Structure 1
């Protein structure tokens, strides 16, 4: 469980510097100009809360799919495929299949309303906008092959990501261009390392907690003490 929390939070925090360039303008453009300071805080927190809830739902769906694959003994293969997808996307920048047009239209309609009730809907929809960071996060969640772990990972990914975006909106994080540029350069390195970790995790090398012979021990410590046969 701790690995899903740590990796999810770190991925969200590191990825947020990429998101400041991609999603930052969207956050700054939220229709809060006429709101009071208290109402702005409530609107922004509501927006990001439901954005994280969107990631939570995606994590649950991905985890269910991963568990279904695990029933057929494909948990290791799932981890390796997830790692390969992350590395190949990082290196070759494949164009993601996009269904963002409709989502963006729905968000645009809600922006025009300039009402507080629109913010949770906009935040929830934002989680489903396809981008490189969400692809990386979903591929990692899929590799876990476990509903609880996939959900936990994507929850903390969204949480870490939202922390920086909220802070940037209120000016709590003043990031120099050079620092942001360096973090964006580091992101591909981190993505490849994460992909290699997932490949290593599914490679059955007998390394406890990293590449165990029984992949289930990463999720259920009791499983290590239950003999599978006599």
Structure 2
């Protein structure tokens, strides 16, 4: 699953480019020194990844509760089904307006924080802007958090989301350093790729849960057969 988290981040960075690209391009970097500029963008992205990891910690903790009562297989299948249902809810054209209304209040609060830290270009400000960026409502992040629940452990959930964030970093660094050129070329495809990613992750989790159940049945059958032979 950890490999999957990084790949999801890498592929979904096309979505990040469309949604967060303008924000990355507008960051108060204000320097001509390329190494200073790179370090500031790294700090921004590390702040974003820290927020994702914190959310992953909570998701893994929720999953741990299911594992503690022996529902790990049910958890994996349920998480997969829930992701697919979420995709159909969020990306159904009729429902998109409703989803936007639900997230508007969060957006406004986060943007108020952005306005405060956009006033200066210090390292601290760039890092905090990254932390705030991680709080912005995002369908891909929600989908990944649902799959992080299936890790069944708080630390694993945090690592899962950290790897997801690292997967998005190359594209976000690229748009920050190259400007709006890259975004305009890829923008038309970003909205189409998110539902596809979500469905793939959902199917992977369902198959993982079903395969675990099949493996358990084979093991039980083998044990019973061995006892009969003795």
Which category describes the TM-score, using the shorter chain as reference length?
0.7 to 0.9
Task: Note if 1:60 corresponds to 2:85.
Answer: no
Aligned equivalents of 2:24, 2:180: Cα separation in 1: 15
Counterparts in 2 of 1:57 and 1:144: CA distance versus 1, 3 Å: same
**Aligned partners of 1:14 and 1:183 also within 8 Å:** no
2:36: which partner in 1? 39
Counterpart-to-counterpart distance in 1, 2:26 and 2:180:
18
- Identify the match of residue 134 of structure 1 among 120, 124, 141: 141
Gaps of 5+ in 2: 218-226
Higher helix share: 2
1:198 matched to which residue of 2?
A: 205
Task: Say which one has the larger Rg.
Answer: 2
Aligned counterparts of 2:162 and 2:193: Cα–Cα separation in 1: 23
1:154 aligns with 2:157: no
Is the 8 Å Cα contact of residues 164 and 173 (structure 1) preserved in structure 2? Answer: no
Deviations 1:31-80 (A, max 9, x none): 12355333222211111112112212211121112112221223223222
Shift of 1:201: 1.9
Give the length in aligned residue pairs. Answer: 208
The whole-number CA distance in structure 1 between the counterparts of 2:168 and 2:38 is 17
CA–CA distance in structure 1, aligned partners of residues 119 and 179 of structure 2: 27
TM-score (norm 1): 0.79
Distance 1:159 1:205, change over 3 A: closer
The residue that corresponds to 2:10 in the other structure is 13
* Distance in 2 separating the partners of 1:60 and 1:201: 21
SS in 2 for 1:202: helix
* CA–CA separation in structure 1 for the residues paired with 2:63 and 2:175: 35
Residues 41, 173 of structure 2: 8 Å contact kept: yes
Matches within 5 A, 1:31-110: 31-34=28-31, 36-93=33-90, 95=99, 97-98=102-103, 99-110=106-117
CA 1:38/1:142 → structure 2, altered by over 3 Å: closer, same or farther? Answer: same
Alignment partner, residue 192 of structure 2? 185
Q: Which deviates the most, 20-29 or 164-173? A: 164-173
Change (3 A) 1:178 1:126: closer
